[in-house]
Structure 1
Amino acid sequence: MWKVAVVGTGFIGSTIAFVLASKGCCVDAIDINERRIAAFERGDCPIKEPGLAELLREQKATGRLRFSSDFSRVATADVILVTVGTPLAEDFSPDISHIRSATDAIAPHVHDGQLVMVKSTVPPGITRTVVAERLRRFADVHVAFSPERLAEGSAIRELQSLPIVVGGLDPQSSAVAEAFWQQTLGVDVIVVSSPEAAEMVKLADNLWIDLNIALAHDLAKLCDALPYDLDVLEVIAGANSLKKGQHYVNILTPSNGVGGYCLTKDPWFVHSLGARHGADLLTPKTSRTINAGMPAYCALQIAQWARRHDRVLANLQLAVLGLAFKTNSGDVRLTPVKPLLDALRSEGFGTVRVHDPMVLKEDADGWGVELNPSIDDTLRNADGVIFLVAHDEFRSLSPAHIAKLAAPGALVFDGRRYFDRSEIAELQNLGLAYKGVGR
């Protein structure tokens, strides 16, 4: 049985800690956020990830999952996982102060033979020069980097199924890291030659995703602009049927924007890395510019519809469904919904009601957004119903229910719900207008 200390209990750290406990590991979850630690101790899960609250209660009851703000707990661990945040600094470089602080906090308590594995997203070289150099002054520890690649909304399943990449400081570190993941999760482990290679894997993954979404957004805007009845989802589905090499074309879907902690910052990490080392990289800035512009683009599409129908924007009521940045998640970090709300107000819309059953009130308050707790109250007499995520509750809304509550002739704007053709036809037959991103 592996003894594990997880340093940092945000979305990634808590998911890893709870799942490892469910696999039989003895886990100490450690964080300086005493309020979060106290919530976990009570059995409350402040992180809205499907299945996470249930996993917390189950594993806490077994005694294998403990919580603390005491970093000396790492002394009893076989493996220490560092999962603290790396926010974006003002110059678009990564702020690694949390990594430095976590390393300093655990350094006096490490001992020979332990494995310290960094899961936080960092530029190449940080695991070696910041973490390993500091810790090896105290003990002969194994050190490795393993990129976090979980998607919110499906993190528990993905942690137990996706291949895990590891890059050790030396062959022994890589071997221990590989054995740990294979024995605990039973997943495929891809061992790369160094921590720097593993660190680059995470940046490459997120740059590819951001670029792919940017391509989808440009295709959507082109479908909107052309004088034909085009549906970008139909175009993308057709394009994705082409096989190139060993894989098929895989264009992702457009939406009202990109949010969250990774995609909004990691391309800037890549951009700043290139600038510091003399490489003029064009793609990171391009993808960020395109994707960051989608909230304002969607607000303009809604405003243009209203003006074409001679509506006075200040008199209209909008029902916005979704504040989180991702479907079936309550995470509002860098959500694209907030700039979209700001853009709607800048366009001149009057009443804007927001409902999101996944988002905690205090998190919404942090964005200055007042949530309406009732979906029906949010929809009632709305001149525009704006879908900005596709939570299960929103997917279950039938066109008939929307038409029953919304104002006659209301616009249904589809930022991320992805109504199919039969649903769109039903909305229109019920007297509602429909507009999607590129549809």
Structure 2
Amino acid sequence: MRQQCLGYGVLVRIAVIGCGYLGAVHAACMADLGHDVVGVDLDPGRIAALAAGRAPFHEPGFPELLGRALSSGRLTFTTDLEEAARVRVFFLCVGTPQLPGSNAADLSFVDDAVRSVAALVAASGRTAVVVGKSTVPVGTAARLAPLVEAVGATLIWNPEFLREGYAVRDTLTPNRIVYGLPDGEDGAAAQEILDDVYADQLRRQIPRLTTDYATAELVKVAANSFLATKISFINAMAEICELTGADVTQLAGAIGMDDRIGKKFLQAGIGFGGGCLPKDIRAFTARAEELGAHESVGFLREVDKINLRRRDRVVDLAKQVLGERLVGARVAVLGAAFKPHSDDLRDSPAVDIATRLQGLGADVVVTDPAALPLLARLHPALSQAEQAEDALRDADLVVLATEWREYVVMDPYDAAELVRTPVVIDGRNVLNPARWRRAGWTYLGLGRP
């Protein structure tokens, strides 16, 4: 008799291999649904923090979820893979960073995880399902499947679609679930087991799509490539607006009314960053070139260039505003994380701009509600201020780089009392230009008159 879990599906013993951002959230969510979960990671510091209920990253709702899952006894963490010997389903949630000196993805962590899990399954003599969630180049699952099948297990590719800042919600209530499956009875049997894991979501009619390995791998990178393209498109329009005097925010609003286009991701500014979009479009481009399809994704190279040019634009505006006063000028950078509700500094436009202005001789001070501890470790040369008011004090220039709500709703009259020179570069086009100008500020947006 199969044991029922809290979500009224079937209780499944799960191991999550890799307890970084993706893995830790997935492990806690699966435990919250009623499954028995062990999270495995080679980093003893990370495991110790998670086991003590301390979230090693900023993600709304995750600390509470983690504490609840640990208290239930359904979630444990370890550095010893042997503790997962009785597990039925292994989720692979390890990183696939960009290879140094290349656009390609580094698959060494995925390969190591598959080999380790295969060895454990072989030694245990138990059947298992190995579920890849890491974002990988197309063809990876087909390459790894024989290693998994050789020990009597089955590989499924089940891409993740998490948005930082909404990861808990996106895991518990995703807008779709995708299975990349092998053909035949083994694929059907593995699908039934993964359906047990996601029984709560499937019962709530969340769409589940079953496909082959290659399509499942492409779903994630194609989605990220489309979103990146949409962002860079409106930023390319911002470049045209800056040359013609047009307003990109009005332009975006007008074209976004067409439901074939939509308004989402049409926010011109300093562009995207983080650990997904930049590396994923680069890895996709590299993989397409390996397949001889470089012309098919040639536009993604321009998408990347447009994105990086927006950072250049902010630095150029700072040079224009400050001129010879740039050296020694105090510049307040509001935001460090690549997006609000996160402390992720990977490929952050805000940090890139801050370090470049510092390199030009400016006295840069950065503030952020969540990312300062990580910023201190990664960029110790950058000055920090815990509060926005302290960053603004005596500033010659203010750069809004991350659209945290506290910066968006900041009172420009109060802010003007703190700075030395009321000049603001709105790197996210989220401030009200008329209100800031009435308060005495020189307001500079991106793609705005």
Please confirm whether the aligned pair reaches a TM-score higher than 0.5, indicating the same fold: yes
- Alignment partner of 1:70 is 2:87: no
Aligned partners of 1:164 and 1:187 also within 8 Å: no
Deviation at 1:250, TM superposition (A): 5.3
Deviation at 1:237, TM superposition (A): 1.0
Q: Quick one: which of 426, 436, 439 aligns to 1:430? A: 439
Q: Secondary structure at the match of 2:38?
A: strand
Q: TM-score, normalised by structure 2?
A: 0.89
Q: Secondary structure at the match of 1:80?
A: strand
In 2: Cα distance, 1:37 partner to 1:68 partner: 6
Aligned partners of 1:236 and 1:251 also within 8 Å: no
- Alignment partner of 1:325 is 2:325: no
The answer to which of 321-330 and 250-259 deviates more is 250-259
Deviation at 1:263, TM superposition (A): 0.9
- Does the C-alpha gap of structure 1 residues 102 and 432 become closer, same or farther in structure 2, counting only changes over 3 Å? same
In 2: Cα distance, 1:360 partner to 1:46 partner: 13
- Alignment partner of 1:157 is 2:169: yes
Stretches of structure 2 that go unaligned for 5 or more consecutive residues are: 1-10
Matched residue type, 1:63: G
Alignment of 1:85-100 (within 5 A): 85-89=95-99, 90-100=101-111
In 1: Cα distance, 2:240 partner to 2:155 partner: 48
Aligned partners of 1:23 and 1:184 also within 8 Å: no
Q: Secondary structure at the match of 1:18?
A: helix
Deviation at 1:360, TM superposition (A): 4.5
Aligned partners of 1:5 and 1:28 also within 8 Å: yes
Aligned partners of 2:241 and 2:247 also within 8 Å: yes
Aligned partners of 2:148 and 2:154 also within 8 Å: no
| Equivalent position of 2:249 in the other structure | 233
| Equivalent position of 2:62 in the other structure | 52
Q: What is the percent sequence identity of the aligned residues? A: 28
Matched residue type, 1:103: V
| Equivalent position of 2:112 in the other structure | 101
Q: Quick one: which of 349, 361, 378 aligns to 1:336? A: 349
Matched residue type, 1:180: V
Stretches of structure 1 that go unaligned for 5 or more consecutive residues are: none
- Does the C-alpha gap of structure 1 residues 144 and 327 become closer, same or farther in structure 2, counting only changes over 3 Å? same
Alignment of 1:295-374 (within 5 A): 295-307=311-323, 312-346=325-359, 348-368=360-380, 369-374=382-387
| Equivalent position of 2:389 in the other structure | 376
Q: Quick one: which of 245, 267, 270 aligns to 2:284? A: 270
Q: Secondary structure at the match of 1:151?
A: coil
In 1: Cα distance, 2:423 partner to 2:414 partner: 14
In 1: Cα distance, 2:240 partner to 2:307 partner: 15
Deviation at 1:252, TM superposition (A): 2.1
Q: TM-score, normalised by structure 1?
A: 0.91
In 1: Cα distance, 2:348 partner to 2:328 partner: 27
Q: Secondary structure at the match of 2:385?
A: coil
In 2: Cα distance, 1:260 partner to 1:394 partner: 20
Deviation at 1:174, TM superposition (A): 3.4
- Alignment partner of 1:23 is 2:33: yes
Matched residue type, 1:98: F
Q: Quick one: which of 164, 180, 194 aligns to 1:167? A: 180
The answer to which of 174-183 and 390-399 deviates more is 174-183
In 1: Cα distance, 2:205 partner to 2:60 partner: 21
In 2: Cα distance, 1:335 partner to 1:240 partner: 26
In 2: Cα distance, 1:370 partner to 1:32 partner: 32
Matched residue type, 1:78: R
Q: Quick one: which of 279, 288, 292 aligns to 2:293? A: 279
Deviation at 1:112, TM superposition (A): 4.3
Deviation at 1:349, TM superposition (A): 4.7
| Equivalent position of 1:180 in the other structure | 197
Q: Quick one: which of 130, 137, 152 aligns to 1:123? A: 137
Q: Secondary structure at the match of 1:76?
A: coil
In 2: Cα distance, 1:26 partner to 1:277 partner: 41
RMSD: 2.0
- Does the C-alpha gap of structure 1 residues 14 and 165 become closer, same or farther in structure 2, counting only changes over 3 Å? same
In 1: Cα distance, 2:433 partner to 2:430 partner: 10
Q: Quick one: which of 224, 227, 231 aligns to 1:209? A: 227
| Equivalent position of 1:197 in the other structure | 215
Deviation at 1:385, TM superposition (A): 1.5
Matched residue type, 1:154: Y
Deviation at 1:184, TM superposition (A): 5.4
Matched residue type, 1:424: P
Aligned partners of 2:328 and 2:361 also within 8 Å: yes
Matched residue type, 2:291: H
Q: Secondary structure at the match of 1:77?
A: coil
Matched residue type, 2:217: E
| Equivalent position of 1:148 in the other structure | 160
| Equivalent position of 1:412 in the other structure | 424
Matched residue type, 1:199: E
Q: Secondary structure at the match of 1:265?
A: helix
- Does the C-alpha gap of structure 1 residues 427 and 295 become closer, same or farther in structure 2, counting only changes over 3 Å? same
